[in-house]
Amino acid sequence: MEKLKSLALKIRWFIMDVDGVLTDGGIVYDSDGRELKRFCVRDGMGITLLHNAGIKTAILTSRNSPMVKRRAEELKITEVIQGVSDKLSLYESIKRDTTCQMKKFYTLVMTLLTCLF
């Protein structure tokens, strides 16, 4: 447990997907074919707590959606990367890019997830 706590204290970035993470996973289309998403209001508190702890947040999603941009703005999530179909390749690219400020985040979260699962 101490090792996990030590790793968690080093996290500077928290990155998340949207569908099934910030939403219930469903996608609804209205009669005009526009996509609608249902976001959970409780996530806002969790993200606010992360920000208050000095942890930056980002969204990485394979879909492109104006609703994601709007929700990110509401939650003060400054890094939003949409339209990424191969997230693993992006992760590998970030690991290789030593100038990328999110590199530490990815490395630590992958380490943390390894400990949890």
Q: How confident is the model at residue 51 (pLDDT cuts 50, 70, 90)?
A: very high
- Mean pLDDT of the residues in the chain: 78
Token pair listed for 48: 């606010």
Q: Full-prediction pTM beyond 0.95?
A: no
If we measure between CA atoms, which residue out of 13, 116, 24 comes closest to residue 60? 13
What is the percentage of the chain residues whose pLDDT exceeds 90? 18
pLDDT tens digits, one per residue of 63-115: 888 999 999 999 999 888 888 887 777 767 666 654 454 555 554 455 445 44
Domain harbouring 43, CATH code: 3.40.50.1000
**CA-to-CA separations, 57 to 20, 54, 73, 90, in angstroms, rounded:** 17, 10, 12, 17
- The residue whose two tokens read 């920000």 is 51
Domain count, the chain: 1
Residues of the domain holding 93: 2-116
